[in-house]
Amino acid sequence: MPNDTINNAIKKASTSNENYEEIVYEGYGPNGVAVIVEAATDNKNRTAADVRHAFDKSGGNLGTSGCVSYMFNKKGVIVIERATTSMDEEELMMLVLEAGAEDFQASEEIYEVTTDPADFSEVREKLEEMGLEFLEAEVQMVPTTTVALDEKGVEKMERLIERLEDLDDVSNIYHNWEE
């Protein structure tokens, strides 16, 4: 390859102001599982083709904008591991609700706090001030209904998620699969 070609490629790469665009793809996985894929890309055509290919190879299909988003609500989700807090469930629930959270769910190993996206930062800061540590704390798309899968469907869904996670441009994947 000539030196001029190499130098021009280096010059172009160092002076380019690539703009990354955030795009949301929606579609259906195996057995009608609703899937939302958030991506940040500098090439919409490449990313759309990659996402469509991942859906096609996993028994799903890419849909149009809005085809599954109505099945999700944007919520702030904070997950606290039971072992990291000395508070009992009722005491923690009262503190969380006083901090401005919408909901509090307890399971054997974790506590899950749900907030309105607008209140998320404020609730998170109040809980951090109380000395709580989080396993997870982010605004995400929470499904309103879930879909149970049989063994074959589980394999296909896991394959779809794995293929989507392998794409460089994909930042988040949300689904209503009941795991």
Does 10 fall in a domain? no
Across the chain, mean pLDDT equals: 89
Q: Residue 25, class by beta-carbon neighbours within 10 Å (0-12 exposed, 13-18 middle, 19+ buried)?
A: buried
Q: Give residue 9's pLDDT.
A: 63
Does 82 fall in a domain? yes
48 with 131, same domain: the answer is no
Nearest to 140 by CA among 1, 33, 36, 42: 36
Task: Give φ, ψ of 86 to 5 degrees.
Answer: -95, -5
CA dihedral 157, 159, 165, 166 (to 10 degrees): -160
Does 156 fall in a domain? yes
148 with 127, same domain: the answer is no
- In tens, the pLDDT along 18-42 reads 688 899 999 999 889 999 999 999 8
Does 103 fall in a domain? yes
Residue 71, both tokens: 């099945």
64 with 81, same domain: the answer is no
Q: Give residue 165's pLDDT.
A: 94
Q: Is the pLDDT of residue 11 over 80?
A: no
The alpha-helical segments, DSSP class H, found in 21-75 are 44-57
Q: DSSP secondary-structure letter at 177?
A: B
- In tens, the pLDDT along 134-162 reads 999 999 999 999 999 899 989 999 999 99
CATH number at residue 129: 3.30.70.980
Does 8 fall in a domain? no
Does 1 fall in a domain? no
55 with 79, same domain: the answer is no
57 with 107, same domain: the answer is no
How many domains is the chain built from? 2
Beta strands in 67-135 (DSSP E): 72-81, 103-106, 110-115
Does 55 fall in a domain? yes
83 with 55, same domain: the answer is no
What mean pLDDT do residues 43-51 have? 94
CA angle (138 as vertex; 133, 142 as ends), nearest 5: 120
Does 13 fall in a domain? no
**Domain encompassing residue 154:** 19-70+144-175
134 with 153, same domain: the answer is no
User: What are the angstrom distances between the C-alpha of 177 and each of 68, 148, 174?
Assistant: 13, 6, 9
136 with 161, same domain: the answer is no
120 with 137, same domain: the answer is yes
61 with 104, same domain: the answer is no
Task: Give φ, ψ of 84 to 5 degrees.
Answer: -90, -5
Task: Give φ, ψ of 124 to 5 degrees.
Answer: -60, -45
Sheet containing 21-28: which strands, arranged edge to edge? 61-62, 21-28, 34-41, 170-175
66 with 83, same domain: the answer is no
Residue 76, both tokens: 């702030």
